[in-house]
Amino acid sequence: MMRATLIHGAIGGTLLGVVTHLFVQSTSIDPEAHVRVLEVIDSLSQAETDLRRNLLLVRSDLLLHYDSVNGALGALRERLDDLRAVASAAAALESDEVSGRFALLEAGVAEDEEAVEQFKWHNALLRNSWSYFAQKSRGVSELGPMPVATGDGLFHALDRLLPAMMLVQHQPRSETIGLAALELDRLESLNPPRPLRPHIDSMVKHGRLILRLSPALDATLKALLTSRTAATVNSLRSAYLDDHRRSVNRAERHRVLLYAASLLLLVYLAVLFIRLQSGASALALSNAGLKREMAERRQAEDKARALQAELTHAHRLSLMGEMASGLAHELNQPLTAIRLYARGCVRRLKSGEGRPEEILDAMNRLSAQVLRAGAILGWIRGFVKKRQGQTSSLDINALVRETVELLGYERRNLDFNIELALADALPRIEADRIEIQQIILNLTRNSIEAMSEGGPEQPRIAIRTQAGAAGLVELVVEDSGHGMAPDILARAFDSFFTTKPQGMGLGLAISRSLVEAQGGRLWATSEEGKGTTVHFTLPVAGEEQHDSTERSALVVEFGGGRSAAVDPDGNSLEPDRRVHGDGLRR
């Protein structure tokens, strides 16, 4: 059961985990973030194009300042920052492919920036030198007429130099530069007259700088125009798009898997549900079986109880049979008294001497004896009747005394007394009156019999009542009879085990089962040759109610005028009183 729960828990948990994982994996990249990334990449590409356009404008002198170049470069840097921010929000730079391109792009932009600085610097120098070169050539012309000899040569040299320089500006290649350098050398070697000298020197200085810087500047420009930045932006874009497509595909696949896993979970739940249903019907079936079984068991129990009642009844009948002669003697006493009273009355009526008061008195005594005989007969009838057990609250001491009364005849045949040692202030017990009497009678009779077979020197039977363990009252029947050997004691409570020739072997077994049915315990100790002691306990009544009606009735029945000897609680007034035939019988 536990294991099945664990297994189902594990399967369900795993399926749920898988579904959750798939759900997380199937969430596609936020489309807005995707669009933003693409936008930033586009604007990056735009800024890059802007930069190149502005560089060309500057180089071709269509743009005479560098603010726009700086602006484009700044924009390029800002777009890089934007891309970093947007990409980290969209988790777009995570793949090695894309982040590698991005790093490449950053490095490329940094390189470009250095090249742009170089470009601006050299371009400014070059422009400066061109201006100065032009200024100086004008300066030479402004100085006016020259000495013919030098002037001619000078103008001739300038004539050749200026187109050469023009060619350099147009095509800054090694041939044109070499040509212009030659012309510069020639101009320098002319040794111009004094007023022209500084101008010519300046022209040569700046001309040489132009020749040196032009190819360098154009190399820088060319490098910038063919910079890998543009290509890197494009490859970054395609790498990002590839990456995005992959993650979209992945999300798509995971969505399909999510669907499958959800179906699986659903099927699993359906299976569980069906199993639960069949489990419930199986439970209903077994429940019905259980009910049937319980009914059968109850029936069997009823049967056993009925059998027990039968046995108990049979035992009472047999007890009654054994007590029959004693009871007959007991009954004989009131009958004899009735006969005597009746005869006396007749005689006095016949003689006519009898006064009506005397006759009335005799008649009253007579009817008292009738009542007494009726009470004995009533008890016998009650004792032998088939009955359902019914408990009531009882005074154990009164019950003991009453029961011992019933053994009056047998007692009188004994040459010893039954000692009663009844404890004071015992709580009332909750038990079936007839059954308790049955037990006491059984035990007492057993003791009497144990004494009759070659009785001991000092025959003795004692019945004691005492408080037992918590909530119990204990009753002990003790004799000094022949006792039992341990092996016999061990079997003494078995049904149909008896050592008596006429015994049924039921007495002790029934007594024990009756005591146990009332919630008590019955046990015996015995020593061979010395005697046997039987104990039994009975539970104290839950609520100590006075069972006065029942008790007083019995006292009337058996006690007659003895009612004074018993206090209202039924406790004996003489704890260790030997019960003899009381005043009623004398």
Partner 1 sequence: MERSKSGRTLTLCLAVVGHCLLTACAAVAADRPPAFPETPADGPIVPLPLALAFDPDRAALGERLFHDRRLSHDSTLACVSCHNLAEGGDDGLPLPGRSDARRGEVNTPTIFNSVLSFRLGWRGTYRRLADQVDADIQDPRLMNTSWDEVLGKLRADSGYAAAFARTYGDGVTRQNVLDALSAFHRSLITPNSRFDQYLRGREDALSETEKRGYRLFVSLGCVSCHQGRNIGGNLFQKVGVFADYFGSRGNIREIDFGRFLDTGAQHDLFVFRVPSLRNVAVTAPYFHDGSVAQLDDAVRKMGEIQLGEGLTDEEVGLIVQFLHSLTGEFNGRPIMSE
**Which of positions 182-201 make contact with partner 1 (CB under 8 A)?**
198
Would you state the torsion angle of the CA atoms of residues 470, 472, 478, 484, taken in this order, to the nearest 10 degrees? -90
Residue 70 as a binder of partner 1 (CB under 8 A): the answer is yes
Q: Which is nearer to partner 1, 26 or 68 (CB)?
A: 68
Q: DSSP state, 540?
A: B
Whether 481 and 465 have beta carbons less than 8 Å apart is answered as no
**Which of positions 109-128 make contact with partner 1 (CB under 8 A)?**
117-118, 120-121, 123-125, 127-128
Shortest Å, Cβ 66 to partner 1: 5
What gap in Å lies between CA 184 and CA 157, rounded to an integer?
9
Residue 487 as a binder of partner 1 (CB under 8 A): the answer is no
Among the residue ranges 162-170, 442-450, 534-542, 558-566, the one whose residues contact partner 1 (CB under 8 A): 162-170
Among the residue ranges 133-141, 263-271, 380-388, 519-527, the one whose residues contact partner 1 (CB under 8 A): 133-141
Among the residue ranges 102-110, 151-159, 329-337, 509-517, the one whose residues contact partner 1 (CB under 8 A): 151-159
Query: What is the sign of the dihedral through the CA atoms of 446, 452, 454 and 460?
Result: positive
What gap in Å lies between CA 370 and CA 363, rounded to an integer?
10
Question: 319: closest CA among 507, 128, 481, 511?
Answer: 507
**Which of positions 488-507 make contact with partner 1 (CB under 8 A)?**
none
Taking CB under 8 A as the criterion, the residue among 52, 72, 133, 420 binding partner 1 is 133
Q: DSSP state, 460?
A: -
What gap in Å lies between CA 312 and CA 509, rounded to an integer?
10
Shortest Å, Cβ 103 to partner 1: 20
Q: Which is nearer to partner 1, 58 or 538 (CB)?
A: 58
Shortest Å, Cβ 73 to partner 1: 8
Residue 523 as a binder of partner 1 (CB under 8 A): the answer is no
Question: 346: closest CA among 366, 370, 372?
Answer: 366
Residue 52 as a binder of partner 1 (CB under 8 A): the answer is no
Shortest Å, Cβ 105 to partner 1: 18
What gap in Å lies between CA 573 and CA 559, rounded to an integer?
14
Shortest Å, Cβ 213 to partner 1: 10
Taking CB under 8 A as the criterion, the residue among 205, 212, 329, 365 binding partner 1 is 205
Taking CB under 8 A as the criterion, the residue among 132, 383, 409, 558 binding partner 1 is 132
Residue 60 as a binder of partner 1 (CB under 8 A): the answer is yes
Strand-pair partners of 97: none
Q: How far is CA 562 from the centre of its chain?
A: 71
Shortest Å, Cβ 99 to partner 1: 24
Question: 197: closest CA among 122, 136, 241, 265?
Answer: 136
Shortest Å, Cβ 74 to partner 1: 7
Shortest Å, Cβ 229 to partner 1: 19
Whether 444 and 477 have beta carbons less than 8 Å apart is answered as yes
DSSP 14-31: HHHHHHHHHHHHHPPPPH
Shortest Å, Cβ 181 to partner 1: 17
Q: Which is nearer to partner 1, 125 or 342 (CB)?
A: 125
Shortest Å, Cβ 238 to partner 1: 24
Taking CB under 8 A as the criterion, the residue among 169, 226, 325, 413 binding partner 1 is 169
Q: DSSP state, 190?
A: T
Taking CB under 8 A as the criterion, the residue among 17, 31, 74, 471 binding partner 1 is 74
Whether 119 and 110 have beta carbons less than 8 Å apart is answered as no
Among the residue ranges 65-73, 91-99, 367-375, 428-436, the one whose residues contact partner 1 (CB under 8 A): 65-73
Q: Which two tokens stand for residue 398?
A: 């009164």
Shortest Å, Cβ 126 to partner 1: 8
Whether 348 and 360 have beta carbons less than 8 Å apart is answered as no
Shortest Å, Cβ 163 to partner 1: 8
Among the residue ranges 53-61, 92-100, 315-323, 549-557, the one whose residues contact partner 1 (CB under 8 A): 53-61
Query: What is the sign of the dihedral through the CA atoms of 23, 25, 26 and 30?
Result: positive
Residue 79 as a binder of partner 1 (CB under 8 A): the answer is no
Taking CB under 8 A as the criterion, the residue among 202, 333, 533, 572 binding partner 1 is 202
Backbone conformation region of residue 144, classed left if phi is above 0, alpha if psi is from -120 to 50, else beta: left
Residue 162 as a binder of partner 1 (CB under 8 A): the answer is yes
Shortest Å, Cβ 37 to partner 1: 25
Q: Which is nearer to partner 1, 143 or 488 (CB)?
A: 143
Q: Which two tokens stand for residue 566?
A: 């018993």
**Which of positions 424-483 make contact with partner 1 (CB under 8 A)?**
none
Q: DSSP state, 459?
A: -
Residue 64 as a binder of partner 1 (CB under 8 A): the answer is yes
Whether 190 and 184 have beta carbons less than 8 Å apart is answered as no
Among the residue ranges 131-139, 272-280, 350-358, 374-382, the one whose residues contact partner 1 (CB under 8 A): 131-139
Please state, as a whole number, how many other Cβ atoms lie within 10 Å of the Cβ of residue 288. Answer: 10
Helices 228-351 and 31-59: angle between axes, nearest 10 degrees: 170
Q: Which two tokens stand for residue 246?
A: 């992959």
Q: Which is nearer to partner 1, 202 or 518 (CB)?
A: 202
Total site size for partner 1, rule CB under 8 A = 47
Taking CB under 8 A as the criterion, the residue among 30, 32, 61, 528 binding partner 1 is 61
SS (H, E, C) 346-380: HHHHHHCCCCHHHHHHHHHHHHHHHHHHHHHHHHH
The strand ranges marked E within 408-503 are 418-422, 429-431, 461-467, 472-479
Q: How far is CA 519 from the centre of its chain?
A: 40
Footprint on this chain of partner 1 (rule: CB under 8 A): 56, 59-62, 64-67, 70, 74, 117-118, 120-121, 123-125, 127-135, 137-138, 140-142, 144, 155, 158-159, 162-163, 165-166, 169-170, 198, 202, 205-206, 209
